[in-house]
Amino acid sequence: MPDIQRIIDTIAEEIAGAPHRGRVADYIPALAKVDPMRFGIAVVAADGRVFTAGEADAAFSIQSISKVFTLTMALGKAGQALWKRVGREPSGSAFNSIVQLEQEHGIPRNPFINAGALVVSDVVLGGGDPRATIGEILRFVRYLADDDAIAIDMDVAGSEARTGFRNVALANYMKAFGNIERRVEDALNVYFNQCALAMSCRQLAMAGRFLAHDGMHPGTGRRVVSALRARRINALMLTCGHYDGSGEFAFRVGIPGKSGVGGGILAIVPGEASIAVWSPGLNERGNSQLGSLALERLSDATGWSVFTAR
């Protein structure tokens, strides 16, 4: 086992001095206020040990990383039928793009772009009411992380509900094709609240453990999803988790990862570790600039990659 603590301490030092930090997401007013100097990382190793550096216990807005958890729930509810309503191909377009939806009859390319995640939220909603569904998502994430302190940041949820016109447009556009089944405002309500989940790197890395353990919850020994489903979620994270930056992330880091515009990234090394990193500044594709760099350094130093023989 590499010396994880020493490695992430070195990474935290490099990140603290990095001159180019990217730009904080400002299209969601509540996120525009976050200090780009902040940084945290947490690594939960396969044996359960947790290594942290920087502000690993500071809560941040997980944003699109929530799409991993709602996808897991939607697959539990709809099974394979989910794939009739959302594809499994990288989009090559921005996370909030609408252009492919017309040609593809309201079927989004994958569950991690906003359009796909809205369909997934609609599936998680099922016949239920949005408040109960939001509670269900919160309970699921708390269970995965073994941490009841996880909460939704109402400021962020409200901020996005007031300004998320693109998401409103995407949901309405898909509704016209019949691919949002519930009320558009209910699907959006679920989506805005899941994106507003506030979690620390430690909590996020804990919540991702099942994906590093073939679908098992290492805390309870219970199965969250089958090994096959965990493998497939990891595959989607690798191919689509960074939108039109997914190829670059796979090239540089080589492990499944899901980013969010809050500057977080959840990264999974099957059989080895669940990792969460946070640096709020984003690159031009909306992925954490220094978070990606930190993960690149970590994979280089540990040899952790799904493309390397072990």
Q: Does 189 bind ligand GLN (CB under 6 A)?
A: no
- With CB under 6 A as the contact rule, the residue among 96, 100, 163, 305 that binds ligand GLN is 96
Residue (45 or 124) nearer to ligand GLN, CB: 124
In the complex with ligand GLN, the residue whose CB is nearer, 114 or 292, is: 114
Sequence-distant (6+) residues with CB within 8 A of 226 are 215
Based on the residue annotation, tell me whether 66 is a catalytic residue of this protein: no
Q: Is 110 annotated as a binding residue?
A: no
Residue closer to ligand GLN (CB basis): 39 or 112: 112
Which residue has its beta carbon closest to ligand GLN? 64
- Contact by Cβ (8 Å): 263, 281: yes
99 is in an annotated binding site: no
Q: Does 225 bind ligand GLN (CB under 6 A)?
A: no
Q: Which of 261, 269, 274, 277 is catalytic?
A: 261
Distance CA 118, CA 67 (A): 9
243 is catalytic: yes
Nearest to 267 by CA among 200, 204, 199, 195: 204
Least Å from the CB of residue 276 to ligand GLN: 14
**Identity of the amino acid at 189:** N
Residues 1-60 that bind ligand GLN (CB under 6 A): none
How much of the chain is helix, strand and coil, in % rounded to 5? 50, 10, 40
From the list 24, 173, 243, 258, the catalytic residue is 243
What SS3 string covers 242-276? CHHHHHHHHHHCCCCEEECCCCEEEEEECCCEEEE
Contact 237, 252 (CB under 8 A): no
Task: Print the binding letters for residues 132-171 with ligand GLN: x by CB under 6 A, - otherwise.
Answer: ----------------------------x------x----
The response to whether 89 counts as a known ligand-binding position is no
Q: How far apart are CA 87 and CA 104, in angstroms?
A: 10
What kind and span of H or E run contains 297? helix 289-302
Min separation Cβ 96 and ligand GLN, Å: 5
Q: What distance in Å separates the CA atoms of residue 188 and residue 91, rounded to the nearest whole number? A: 21
91 is annotated as an active-site residue: no
Binding-site size, ligand GLN (CB under 6 A): 11
- Report d(CA 200, CA 45) in Å as an integer: 17
Active-site pick, 191, 259, 269, 274: 191
Report the alpha-carbon distance of residue 180 to residue 22 in Å, rounded: 34
Report yes or no: 184 and 172 within 8 Å, Cβ to Cβ: yes
Pick out residues in 227-256 that bind ligand GLN (CB under 6 A): none
Q: Is 261 in the site for ligand GLN (CB under 6 A)?
A: yes
Least distance (Å) between residue 261 CB and ligand GLN: 4
Residue with tokens 């359009």: 115
Rounded Cα distance, 228 and 166, in Å = 34
Q: Does residue 173 have an active-site annotation? A: no
Catalytic residue IDs: 64, 67, 191, 243, 261
Q: Which residues are documented as binding site for substrate?
A: 64, 114, 160, 167, 191, 243, 261
- Return residues touching ligand GLN (CB under 6 A): 63-64, 95-96, 114, 160, 167, 195, 260-261, 286
